[in-house]
Structure 1
Amino acid sequence: MTTISQQLLRRKPIGPDTSSPLARTIGLFPLMAIGISCTIGTGIFFIMSQAVPMAGPAVIWSFVIAGVVAGLTALCYAELAGAVPVSGSTYSYAYATMGEGTAMIVGACLLLEYAVSAGAVAVGWSQYLNELLGNLFNIQLPHALVNAPEEGGIVNLPAVVLIALCAVLLIRGTKESVVTNAIMVCVKIAVLLFFIAVGITGWNSDHFANFAPYGISGVAAGAGVIFFSFIGLDAVSTAGEEAKNPKRNLPLAIMLALLVVIALYIGVALVAIGAQPASQFEGQEAGLSAILADVVGSSWPATVLAIGAVISIFSVTLVTLYGQTRILFAMSRDGMIPKVFGQVNARTFTPVRNTLIVSAVVAVLAGVIPINFLAEMTSIGTLAAFLVVSIGLIILRRREPDLERGFKVPLYPLTPILSIAGCIWIISQLRPVTIVVFVVWSAVFLAFYFLYGRRKSALEPGNSVLEPEVPITAAVHVEKDER
């Protein structure tokens, strides 16, 4: 009989699960689109009004610093994704390097990062949709149907509808979902390029005078706010068992997505500062739209930006729901949570019941609960997961030096150490109450592990792995057909 300490520290074997019922249908570009989609959400459309008052025109350096910190973590993700190409993202990496107990806590972090953030961005989508309907058709949805009960409404109906639409796409099949997402990513990139192209016509170099009015501390504070606009690159790693040639494509997709995001963000920041004085950013709503309206002298750019935001948030919701279902799939297969989350439909090769349960829970969050505080919980959950990835990389390098890796981080061990330091620094900037609630949430999840997971674990002697609904040979056949 295994002891509790042995159960907490037991590790899952490293390597791809050759018995996975999920089909490998996702190529390099759709993988890259997953990373871009989950990263470029509402943040870039509003972050300037928060960051510029902190850093002044030097907010450009804030974007660079935030991008570097995110990039360090992305490099660590890239190596682990190539070395451990399975579903589950950080959960699977923690299970392979630190043990079952740590993996369970990471699972709690990822529930905050994906499920809660999906609800939060769905609420944002509802607001943008209402604005767009007003701009295009002079229609405003009733207050009661676009707000939670605490905000004087009944239910946020558009947010619920969005979750339902994403669920339908995910149930129909992974290939259909990633193709739809790739199209929406192209549209959101085009909208940001549109902002850069139009905004640069109002360029005024005088706006860069008094470049860093609040010094290095202001630049650092701005970077702390902006960092959360880079969250989402790790979504690529949730597709580990559905990616074609994962040892090559997973690391490459993460790095390409990072480069695209950094280039777009810095381009938008430069043009925004060049087109509008730094003093006008504070308190500015729909900042990018307002900047273009001033440059062009018309309100039509606001409509274009609103369209971009609606499409952008739709794709973010789709990818976060996808990522959550794949993480729960991996946890269920390992016995950490009930088997229903790991069952794969024989026709669509997707975890249908898993998707329905996740979508129902997220729809409740989005429809009836104000998401402001939960959005901050998303941030700490993400940072904790990032922290585990960097530590896991160091452990795996020492424990498995000869393991085949599709990519190796440069400047090891400096890169993961800097990533760890960056994550700890940003966590220290969060409100104490957020950290306390996070600790309590992790403790609840760990208690569930002691009551359920440690006895049901696939690594527990006498237990067997999850029997999938779909025949393994059928999944393999689809994989071959899609190559």
Structure 2
Amino acid sequence: MDVKENSGQLRRQLKLIHVIAIGIAYMSPFAVFDTFGIASDASGGYVPASYLVVFTAILFTALSYGKLVKMFPISGSVYTYTRKIMNPYIGVLVGWVTFIAYLALPMINALLANIYLSSGFPNIPEAVWVIGLIAVITIFNIFGVKITASINILLVIFQFLVGTIFIYLNIRTINSDGAHQFITLQSLFPANMEMSPLLAGAALLALSFIGFDAITTLSEETINPRKNIPKAILIVATIGGVFFFTVTYFMQSLFPDVSVFQDIEGASPEIAYIIGGNFFLSLFISGALVSVFASGLAAQLSASRLLFAMGRDKVIPKSFFGYVSPKQNTPILNIILVGILALSALFLDLETATSLINFGAFTAFSFVNLCVIISFLKTKQPRTAVNIISNIIAPCLGLIFIIYLWINLDLFSIIIGLIWTGLGIIYLAFTTNLFKSPPPEIKFEELDM
């Protein structure tokens, strides 16, 4: 599909491998190391089991995304699905709330980069690292989605290479010291296991799987999206689940009790030093920085596409948000804007930014499952057992798990999310003459699918 200047359309140029790389980068595989200490404490030492639980639960939501992207293979993700299936007003509001999660992740990556680099270079002002990372990420995204995707392939490979070395060193240490043994299947799920800590660990680790949903924002730039996007969603979720379980299985085998660490929130660098010394610790920190950079690239990419979809629909000013650079074939103004907004990391902390992600992500996951159920009830699909399981029971199970996450959401996240939602309602009321006129809408059939 060739793009005409300012046509408001993007070029299909991403292959399956590109989409997978972006999804994995967004999911940030190194998050498994950052969360191990606190997850082990919250789950009572059952981190691998918690990952199995959350992977099984989140897989239902991943399947719901796969169904919807086959129906609407364009950039808007949950905004598009909710708008077309449920209600235009709800769609706009869900898009508004979801955007806050896409925006918060670049902030988190900038904050993490600042933490890592400031510890190594304490004499350099912290603002340099935040501004520098966001500037570099913005420049790469401006150059084009395929360049960003190709860079992410290399960065993801490096992360998995470091992760593989980490696993090898864990195994070597367990085999050599004689004081530890590998977790058995029986001890992975013991008969006397308490479900409350297990579910608490699963709730904490659910956000590790954010990434497969960001893939849907690339539907309009992906070759054969109805086939490749659903496939990529399942591949990314599965790779994440296998990697997270494998890493934590060996970490938990070596350190069943995280109280031995000076700082459980920084347990993974301590483990890296114990199993590999200073050299591997340096390599490990390099992997963490690469993970932050790759995730930041993918997060800004996804956020700019969501804004583009809403801009093209004239929900927000089309002349700005719906603009596509004729040379780079990217929504260049959105990319720059997301970069500027991400600079708010200079004034926020990790807790605040994480709260924004939680509320936005849970909103997106909830409405995706609802859209599958409502779409099935609205259509005349045969009410066979397979269809009912696929379109009613599976998304209901996904929704039940997300409701559990909502229940466990901290009050600060809810307050911040409700304030942002309230601003969205005010904006929507203003632009639709107090809901008397429907939001503008693009005809999807006019796009080259």
What TM-score, normalized to structure 1?
0.82
1:299-323 residue CA offsets vs partner (Å, 9 max, x unmatched) = 2221111010100010111111111
Q: Check the 8 A contact 2:89/2:438 in 1, yes or no.
A: no
Q: Quote the offset at 1:287 in angstroms.
A: 2.2
AA of the residue aligned to 2:335? T
Q: Check the 8 A contact 1:56/1:214 in 2, yes or no.
A: no
1:427 equivalent to 2:398? Answer: no
Find the aligned partners of 1:33 and 1:427 in 2 and give their Cα distance. 29
Unaligned runs of 5+ in 1: 1-18, 147-155, 467-471
Task: Please state whether the residue corresponding to 1:348 is helix, strand or coil.
Answer: coil
* Distance change (3 Å), C-alpha of 1:210 and 1:348: closer
Find the aligned partners of 1:109 and 1:268 in 2 and give their Cα distance. 33
Moved more, 373-382 or 241-250: 373-382
* Distance change (3 Å), C-alpha of 1:359 and 1:206: closer
- 2:325 is matched with which residue: 345, 356, 367? 345
Find the aligned partners of 1:188 and 1:436 in 2 and give their Cα distance. 35
| 1:5-404 alignment, distance < 5 Å | 21-40=9-28, 43-131=31-119, 134=120, 139-142=121-124, 145-146=125-126, 156-203=127-174, 204-205=180-181, 215-280=194-259, 283-296=263-276, 298-339=277-318, 340-363=320-343, 365-401=344-380
Find the aligned partners of 2:110 and 2:96 in 1 and give their Cα distance. 21
Find the aligned partners of 1:125 and 1:417 in 2 and give their Cα distance. 38
State the partner residue of 2:424.
Answer: 445
Moved more, 98-107 or 312-321: 98-107
Q: Quote the offset at 1:273 in angstroms.
A: 1.1
* Distance change (3 Å), C-alpha of 1:356 and 1:96: same
AA of the residue aligned to 2:105? S
AA of the residue aligned to 1:163? I
Find the aligned partners of 1:106 and 1:221 in 2 and give their Cα distance. 27
Find the aligned partners of 1:96 and 1:206 in 2 and give their Cα distance. 50
AA of the residue aligned to 1:118? P
Q: Quote the offset at 1:439 in angstroms.
A: 1.9
Find the aligned partners of 2:361 and 2:284 in 1 and give their Cα distance. 28
Q: Quote the offset at 1:140 in angstroms.
A: 3.1
CA RMSD, 1 decimal: 2.7
Q: Quote the offset at 1:345 in angstroms.
A: 0.9
Task: Please state whether the residue corresponding to 2:100 is helix, strand or coil.
Answer: helix
Q: Check the 8 A contact 1:37/1:181 in 2, yes or no.
A: yes
Task: Report % sequence identity.
Answer: 24
What is the total number of aligned residue pairs between the two structures?
A: 427
Q: Quote the offset at 1:100 in angstroms.
A: 1.4
Find the aligned partners of 2:388 and 2:145 in 1 and give their Cα distance. 30
* Distance change (3 Å), C-alpha of 1:174 and 1:459: farther
Find the aligned partners of 1:412 and 1:129 in 2 and give their Cα distance. 47
Q: Quote the offset at 1:59 in angstroms.
A: 2.0
* Distance change (3 Å), C-alpha of 1:457 and 1:464: farther
Q: Check the 8 A contact 1:42/1:309 in 2, yes or no.
A: yes
* Distance change (3 Å), C-alpha of 1:277 and 1:456: closer
Task: Please state whether the residue corresponding to 1:57 is helix, strand or coil.
Answer: coil
Q: Quote the offset at 1:436 in angstroms.
A: 2.9
AA of the residue aligned to 2:122? Q
Find the aligned partners of 1:464 and 1:103 in 2 and give their Cα distance. 11
Find the aligned partners of 2:433 and 2:291 in 1 and give their Cα distance. 40
* Distance change (3 Å), C-alpha of 1:207 and 1:162: same
Task: Please state whether the residue corresponding to 2:14 is helix, strand or coil.
Answer: coil
* Distance change (3 Å), C-alpha of 1:457 and 1:26: farther
* Distance change (3 Å), C-alpha of 1:299 and 1:104: same
1:316-356 residue CA offsets vs partner (Å, 9 max, x unmatched) = 11111111110000001111111201111111111111211
* Distance change (3 Å), C-alpha of 1:262 and 1:20: same
Task: Please state whether the residue corresponding to 1:232 is helix, strand or coil.
Answer: coil
1:356-380 residue CA offsets vs partner (Å, 9 max, x unmatched) = 11211112x1223334223112112
What TM-score, normalized to structure 2?
0.88
Find the aligned partners of 1:350 and 1:308 in 2 and give their Cα distance. 28
AA of the residue aligned to 2:160? I
* Distance change (3 Å), C-alpha of 1:295 and 1:429: same
Q: Check the 8 A contact 2:73/2:219 in 1, yes or no.
A: yes
Unaligned runs of 5+ in 2: 1-6, 175-179
Find the aligned partners of 1:350 and 1:409 in 2 and give their Cα distance. 40
